[in-house]
Amino acid sequence: MLCMKLLRVKFALSLCVCSAVLTACGEKFDLPTPPDESSTTREQFLLFQWGADALQIDLNAPEDIFTGLDRLLYVADTGNDRVVMLDKAGRVQGVSPEIDHPKALGQDSQLNLLIVNGSNIVFRIDLVAINHLIGQAPIDTLVIGSNTSSFTGVGAFGDNGEFYVTDMANNRVWRFDQTDQSLKPVIFSGTGVGTANQPTGITSFLIPTGNISSILGQQGFIFTQIGQVFKLQWLSGGNVQPPFSPVISPSDNVDFFNHFKDDSRDGDVDYMPEDVAVDNSQRIYVIDSQADSVFVFNRNGEFLRDRNQISILSFGGTGSGDKEFRSPKGIAFLDVDDDQVLYVADTGNNRIVRFKLSSEFDSGI
């Protein structure tokens, strides 16, 4: 992420992981033990290997992985100053012209690829105009923010090519208005509910498997932040107009990570959520670059468990093993041939890894 002093709140996160997961991320802390069951079906995210002919390309510190409405995958190959297009099997379909350090990707309803790179510019590649031949695509400047803006995430919504963008430097979330081609602030700086403090990643509900806004009956978005008040927040505001209000936990009106803050414990880990994804069942996936972990939540802000409410599906660990990461910064989800697949941009390991949600019968032996 950007070179700036980050103000973080330390807290401990009670986390139970699947049996295949390695040690806790960073500094070790105690994990609760799941209930003992002699025989049950357990769900977990398992490593899903790419085919032998896939990913025949060297990545350099990729900071984002995005699943497009065209059901293709796009990788922000940050260290190589380019965007890589993949099919669902991981085969390279094209590489964009040079773009300086792309950090986050999105795609609007018109199949324009949206790119931000920490500057005050949102870039665009019109994929339809060039028949998805991304290597021949001009990279347009779609909109320019203020001189102090630092755009870190982008998420599209609606049918008119509109989107949200997170601005870390100004502690804001902006909405791109297609009617006058301008950015309008919808979330302002602050430490309370409905405010932003160094926002990092964002996703809205326009996803490859369908726009879940119709399920929720409202437009909305989820964003992560790493500032003074450390949180993941799901916001909704009718026709994407303020004031916004949190809908994840209406009973107590708080943000995700405030559920897990416990000052009475020794919080050895500074959590740093970098990106967020949502699936068509309204499960929320957060990638954390400091904890080197994937956190999985239901729409109520609770850790997602398997169908028997035994194992928490979050997983991670620092390293380069099957379920380990080094400073991961991007996450995406896609239903592929009836498989529910989760993609992670494992930045520090220069790779993209994928997992699928699987059910396994545990005989208790």
**Where do the domains of the chain lie, and which CATH numbers do they carry?**
40-362 (2.120.10.30)
List all residues 6 or more positions away from 281 whose beta carbon is below 8 Å from its beta carbon: none
- pLDDT value for 21: 27
Give me the percent of the chain exceeding a pLDDT of 90: 41
Per-residue pLDDT tens digits for 133-190: 999 999 999 999 999 999 999 998 877 888 999 999 999 999 998 889 999 998 889 8
Contact 27, 12 (CB under 8 A): no
Mean pLDDT of 306-332: 88
Cβ neighbors of 342 (< 8 A, separation 6 or more) are 45, 277, 285, 294, 331, 332, 333, 354, 355, 356, 357
Is a pLDDT exceeding 50 seen at residue 308? yes
Spatial CA neighbour of 293 closest among 337, 323, 268, 265: 323
Q: Would you say residue 287 has pLDDT above 50?
A: yes
Confidence label for 210 from pLDDT (cuts 50, 70 and 90): low
Q: CA–CA separation, 196 vs 69, rounded Å? A: 28
Is the pLDDT at 22 greater than 70, yes or no? no
pLDDT at residue 97, as a whole number:
96
Reported as a single tens digit per residue, the pLDDT across 84-125 is: 999 988 899 999 999 999 999 999 989 999 999 999 999 999
Place of tokens 């509900």: 205
pLDDT higher than 50, residue 261: no
Position 124 scores a pLDDT of 97
The residues, ordered by sequence, that sit 6+ positions from 311 with a Cβ below 8 Å of its Cβ are 16, 17, 18, 19, 34, 42, 43, 44, 305
C-beta separation of 91 from 50 below 8 A: no
Six token digits for residue 103: 């950090």
Whole-structure pTM value: 0.82
As given in the structure block, the two tokens for residue 308 are 């028997």
C-alpha distances out from residue 297 to 145, 260, 284, 312, Å = 33, 12, 5, 9
